[in-house]
């Protein structure tokens, strides 16, 4: 869908190929098709992915997981027992994940089963490594596989273009709702 207009009898839905008339329209828009990217050179190399299908396919490898939400922590945990895993966290601490996942990740790091790169970002991706921008400067780490768990970009422009109004003026709708339990959302609703 590239456009939606209200008509006297319902709606006109525009797609790249055609237009359709409909009495009712249900918007079921997911964001998994729009994963956020690094914006770093080399991010399009074949060993960089946004999804992990089967953690058992990865054995005895250097793997870098980028992100600090539930999905990133779950991926890092699932890979840690059979691989050398690094977790790249943009902030100085993990704020957006479930407390149980955060405890497990910090426990793995304390036992030397995972390396967490806090206050860091990926500056460049290479064939078997990544260059991280850290508080100590640029650091090159081995990375035979890199898994990006940076969230996704909602189709806000499309939705606003068809008349959907958002409560906030930010770049994307707030992930916090009146029933949100994430520490990042408490008190912000």
For residue 23, what pLDDT is reported?
95
Q: Which residues of the chain fall below pLDDT 50?
A: 171-189
Res 186: pLDDT = 34
48-148 CATH: 3.50.50.60
pLDDT in tens, 144-165: 999 999 988 877 788 888 888 8
Residue 97: the pLDDT is 94
Which strands make up the sheet holding 3-7, listed edge to edge? 3-7, 10-14, 19-22
Q: Please state the pTM of the whole predicted model.
A: 0.74
How far is residue 71's CA from residue 67's CA, in Å, rounded to a whole number? 8
Q: Which residues neighbour 97 within 8 Å (Cβ) at sequence distance 6 or greater? A: 68, 69, 70, 72, 73, 105
Looking at residue 32, its pLDDT comes to 65
pLDDT at 70 (0 to 100):
95
Helices 70-80 and 99-110, packing angle to 10 deg: 40
φ, ψ at 103 (rounded to 5°) = -60, -45
Counting DSSP H helices and E strands in the chain, the numbers are 3, 11
Distance CA 73, CA 52 (A): 12
The 3-state DSSP class for residue 106 equals: helix
């Amino acid at each position: 869908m590239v456009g939606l207009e209200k008509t006297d009898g319902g709606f006109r839905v525009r797609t790249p190929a055609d237009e359709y008339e409909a009495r009712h329209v249900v918007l079921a828009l997911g964001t998994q098709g729009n994963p956020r990217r690094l914006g770093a050179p080399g991010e399009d190399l074949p060993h960089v992915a946004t999804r992990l299908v089967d953690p058992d396919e990865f054995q005895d490898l250097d793997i870098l997981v980028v992100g600090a939400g539930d999905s990133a922590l779950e991926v890092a945990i699932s890979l840690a027992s059979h691989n050398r895993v690094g977790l790249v966290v943009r902030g100085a601490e993990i704020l957006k994940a479930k407390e149980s996942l955060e405890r497990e990740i910090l426990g793995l790091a304390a036992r030397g089963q995972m390396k967490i790169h806090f206050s860091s970002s990926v500056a460049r991706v290479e064939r078997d490594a990544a260059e991280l921008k850290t508080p100590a400067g640029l650091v090159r780490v081995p990375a035979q596989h890199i898994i990006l768990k940076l969230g996704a970009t909602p189709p806000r422009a499309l939705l606003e273009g068809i008349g959907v109004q958002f409560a906030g003026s930010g770049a994307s709708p707030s992930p916090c709702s009146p029933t949100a339990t994430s520490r990042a959302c408490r008190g912000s609703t």
